[in-house]
Amino acid sequence: MRLGVVGYVPGDPRAVTEEVLRKALDLEVTSACYHGPGEILDELTTSDCYRVNDLYGNLGLELAQFGVGYRECLFDPEASVRERVVRIIHRGLEVGSALRAHNVLIRTGSLNPGGSYDPAPENHEPGRLEVLIDTLSRVADKAEAEGMNVVVETHALTIMGSPEINRQVVDAVGSDRLRVVMDFVNHFQSLAQVYNSAERLNRIFDVMGPISTVAHIKDISVEPGFVIHMNEEVPGAGELDLVTAVRRWEALHPDGYMLVEHLPEDKIPTAVANVRRIAAEAGVRII
């Protein structure tokens, strides 16, 4: 497998410098990834993208994932909202192609105005999933035209809240260019699953593995409280059997990237070192 990070690099490609890329290079990873805000995408020129490509190429780095930022929901009842977000994603696919990204990451959004990953009962009303599939089909058409992979970041609190729903949606769209992120941490739904994580990981990989092209590697810690509180954790510092996760990813995608993400910069080196230790224990070589 390959190892990269989401971090260090600013969201605007015009602000990327050799200095920030060397922070990733010093960890001996081969990819440094970032998310580009939707509002800047139209400002980016081909020259902007080629300049960044030269920096990455000169340092031997790749862009495994380029995230597209927006607040809109892909299954919003208002057609005008869906039109706006499709336009943003289409432009993001063009920019991702120009940046030679392996994958362009998007999210489904939520009908909760609080945020894209905030739960809402309206997300699960009859017909919402069909609207999402229609929107994703339009995204997939553009991805095919650009020769790009577009990956959906899914989560237990979203409309694509389980591995099984992920597979249902991808199959319904029917495009090899529409995939999901193998972010297995996002699909633990109970304390029992966390404490018997190998079984849950195997289920997630059985269902989602064949429809994933990039993975995120994190851990889970359980916090005391009146109800269940499960938090993302530095890989190797939580409860999950990450040896199983690494082995399953290697078996499915031996050239695929696992990305360390959602960490402050001072914790990224520890996370990368822990993943290397876990991979060695798993008998998996990081290339």
Confidence of residue 284 (pLDDT cuts 50, 70, 90): very high
The rounded distance, in Å, linking the Cα atoms of 192 and 39 is: 42
pLDDT of 137: 98
Q: Which fold is adopted by the domain 2-282?
A: TIM Barrel (3.20.20)
The rounded distance, in Å, linking the Cα atoms of 257 and 245 is: 13
pLDDT at 28 exceeding the cut of 90:
yes
pLDDT of 225: 85
Query: Which residue type sits at 257?
Result: Y
**Which two tokens mark 40?**
């800047």
pLDDT of 227: 86
Dump pLDDT digits (tens) for 209-231: 999 999 999 999 999 988 889 99
Query: Which residue type sits at 51?
Result: R
Which of 69, 167, 180, 79 shows the shortest CA–CA distance to 116? 69
Confidence of residue 23 (pLDDT cuts 50, 70, 90): very high
Q: Are 214 and 64 in contact (CB under 8 A)?
A: yes
Question: What letter would DSSP give residue 177?
Answer: T
Dump pLDDT digits (tens) for 132-189: 999 999 999 999 999 999 999 999 999 999 999 999 999 999 999 999 999 999 999 9
pLDDT of 95: 98
Contacts of 268 (CB under 8 A, 6+ apart): 5, 7, 8, 27, 260
Which of 159, 163, 229, 226 shows the shortest CA–CA distance to 194? 229
Query: Which residue type sits at 248?
Result: R
Mean pLDDT of the chain: 97
Percent of the chain with pLDDT over 70: 100
For the chain, the structural domain boundaries read: 2-282
Mean pLDDT in residue range 33-47: 97
Burial 172-208 (b: 16+ CB within 10 A, else e): ebeeebbbbbbbbbbbbeeeebbeebeebbebbbebb
Dump pLDDT digits (tens) for 105-114: 999 999 999 9
Phi, psi of 18 (to 5 degrees): -60, -35
Count other Cβ atoms within 10 Å, centred on residue 285.
10
pLDDT of 24: 96
Count other Cβ atoms within 10 Å, centred on residue 136.
26
Confidence of residue 20 (pLDDT cuts 50, 70, 90): very high
Cα separations in angstroms, 282 against 83, 183, 220:
45, 19, 19
Contacts of 199 (CB under 8 A, 6+ apart): 193
pLDDT of 228: 86
Residue 268's Cβ-side half-sphere holds a number of Cα atoms within 13 Å equal to: 24
